[in-house]
A and B are shown apart, each in its own frame.
Chain A
Amino acid sequence: MQAALMVPCYIDMFYPRVGIATLELLERLGVDVVYPKEQTCCGQPMANSGCYEEARATEEHCARVFGSFDCVVTPSGSCTHHIRNKFTAGTDSREKQNLVRNTYDLVEFLHDVLKIREFPWATFEHKVALHTSCSAIRGLNMASMSERVHDPVFSKPRTLLSGVPGIEFVEFERVDECCGFGGTFAVTEEAVSAKMGYDKLAFMQKGASPDCIVSSDMSCLVHLQGCARRQKQDIPFYHLAEVLNGVSL
């Protein structure tokens, strides 16, 4: 099947290795991956700040670039959440409707569309602290929410990673509490944001020692890694795509 690859702007600039891992993983699974070179950004940074007027042209551009594909895959829960649930700044068009309907986070695409459960090429004999973003959990329903106490417990990212031979998970408190990134919140509310990041790292490492921290959202990891490095912690951070594609620690 054909899928267009959407590489979020911050991954394009700061974490090209995540884009590469996503591309290689999809290719390995036999997906005919198209990378539209005119792509830039989904408009979330502006829209999330209330500046929907300033998100308009970017959203419209995104819809033009991706609007003709039957399937768009991006390794970002927050971009997927924006496109699926918040894509209201641009004028309505057939392309926009297509994009809203056809965009998948990489986890959803692997878990729900391709239904892949085994990643035998990706041995990873390490203890992982898995972080799932609020956009992915409460925006895309990719994992159960701790507040909804009667819902069955599940996690699509964890199910996928469980298909990697050798992987172990570290359990920690407040597993779905926000890490404090929150887009522009990270700078508008810098002190609280950083404290939330420090707390998240502390919970992950309280009474356990994960070898690395993994998430399907790189934006949370930019923030958490920034907090960890400031605390002189050299624990590695990986996007889920890298682990599924067979990264070695």
Chain B
Amino acid sequence: MSRPVEQAKNAETFLADTVHEERLDKLLWAARMRRDAAARQVPEWEELRTLASEIKEHTLSNLSDYLTQFEARATANGVTVHWARDAHEHNQIVHDILAEQEINLLIKSKSMLTEECDLRPFLERRGIRVTETDLGERIQQLDNQPPAHITGPAIHKTNHDVAILFSQKYGSDPNNEDIAYLAGVMRENTRPDILAARAGMTGANFVVAETGAIVVATNEGNADLAANTPELHICSVGIEKIIPTMESLAVFIRLLARSATGDTITQYTSTFRGPRKGAAMHVILVDNGRSARLGMKRFWHSLKCIRCAACMNTCPVYRRSGGLSYGSTYTGPIGIITMPTFEIRKYSVLPFSSTLNGSCTNVCPVKIDIHEQIYGWREVMEENGQIQVVKKEAMRVADKVLSHPALYQVATATLSTALEVLPHFAVYNRLNVWGKHRDLPQAGTETFHEWYRTHRPKTNEEVGQA
């Protein structure tokens, strides 16, 4: 059992460096603004969200039918379909496919699922080198960090950070922070691998049951390189990514890029239906906890997620914490409500890394009730004994005081005792935590209750004497 990730502490470290925090906040808020502008251009935006949500709910409610339909169609198209119960099975399948052909270099496009499964270290331990082809993901790979954001894995890094990193890894000019130069460095160093690799791997944004196709949306075109350059294409996809038809795909395509970046569509939206002539294509359908989550009455809606990251972009906590602070594959609001299903103890504190402001729920293109689920997960942490003893005890004292008016009135009668009670019922922690960056409220000399007794002596004497 892992110790809980201390998101708040990690966030404090991130905040201490104002350059990165301010830049991240600005970049992501700009993405949120572009999302708003894009949504404004689509009069039926809210109807689209509702439709997308309903399609996902329908598909998830008939998941086995659609998955077997996909398997039949894809197989007929010449694709080899695999089923993986969990991360280990998934990784083993990938390894077996590669080992059978003695392949020791794999090029990859970005896939959150392979991050979730820790595929890269699994393969590397078995002598297979893996090269990420998405620029941000490659930066993170070189820096030995997980992606900090679903759609912008290295969004927390500055040009300067990347220039330094590339100079260390590739010997490029550490003082040249020009974006085109840095992209060129990456390109020069990755292209040889793309040409040499005998296998390429992608994830998938959508899987279409009707046609047996997988759909990959990228802006860099790197998924197309990974899928089309080598003669072997392996696609890993979570079982929740399935949608019924090509017609329903249109609904999601209209929502995806607009929600993510404010663009009408990604630069590349590629549909792969079967292997090219002389090539092979494998699709691995991965469960890894998804069917268990589907059985969770309060939380199954989180499976509707299409990974646009709009919830992260709008989240005021994420923008000031950085994605790495969550210590998890999925970060920000969607991470808070999904990570505890993987490992409850490790991610037990994440549901508290939120103000429950609800902005995430409003931007979600598939209408996941994210902030309600965050609230729900707090209760689950209580049920599972994951709330710190000291906090529980403070809350117990608070409940006792607050359910007994006599105790409450004594406790609040003077400023000094009020200040002693406040940490118990309102903040449960020592006041100096509040006071680190803020002044304490200045309490008056009397409570409202006392004022009322003096100023309305004859009124309502008998009312409310429960």
Contacts and interface: CB of A to CB of B under 8 A. Distances in A.
Interface centre among B40, B379, B433 (most CB of A within 10 A): B379
Contacts of B391: 49, 51
B381 A226 contact: no
A16 B446 CA distance: 8
A174 B446 contact: no
B363 interface: yes
A131 B359 CA distance: 16
Interface residues on A, range: 35 or more
Given A55-B399, A138-B358, A192 B321 contact: yes
A195 B21 contact: yes
Contacts, number: 263
A240 interface: no
B239 to A, nearest CB: 30
Interface stretch (A34-42, A105-113, A205-213): A34-42
A169 B398 CA distance: 39
B405 A39 contact: yes
Interface in B389-428: 391-392, 395-396, 398-405, 408, 412, 418, 421-422, 425-428
A178 B359 contact: yes
Interface of B is mostly: helix
Interface of A is mostly: helix
Interface in A14-52: 14-17, 19-20, 23, 34-41, 43, 45-46, 48-52
B317 interface: yes
Nearest to B40: A149
B405 A40 contact: yes
Given A13-B418, A58-B399, A188 B359 contact: no
Contact of A196 (B7, B316, B403, B460): B316
B463 interface: yes
B362 A188 contact: no
Given A7-B448, A86-B375, A186 B434 contact: yes
A34 B464 CA distance: 9
A70 B12 CA distance: 47
Interface in A190-217: 190-199
A54 interface: yes
Contacts of B458: none
B96 interface: no
Interface stretch (A60-68, A122-130, A158-166, A241-249): A60-68
Contacts of B450: 16
B227 to A, nearest CB: 35
B8 A191 contact: yes
B95 interface: no
Nearest to B423: A187
A138 B362 contact: yes
B356 A46 contact: no
B449 A53 contact: no
Contacts of A193: 355
B439 A191 contact: no
B210 interface: no
Contacts of A38: 405, 464-466
Contacts of B356: 48, 134, 182-183, 185
A83 interface: no
A82 B313 CA distance: 27
9 contacts: A20-B448, A23-B452, A61-B402, A134-B358, A138-B362, A150-B45, A177-B316, A184-B427, A191-B8
Interface of A: 4, 7, 9-17, 19-20, 23, 34-41, 43, 45-46, 48-58, 60-61, 64-66, 86, 134, 137-139, 145-150, 174, 176-178, 180-199, 222-223, 225-227, 229-230
Given A14-B443, A146-B36, A178-B359, 7 more contacts: A50-B381, A54-B396, A134-B359, A186-B434, A192-B8, A196-B320, A197-B438
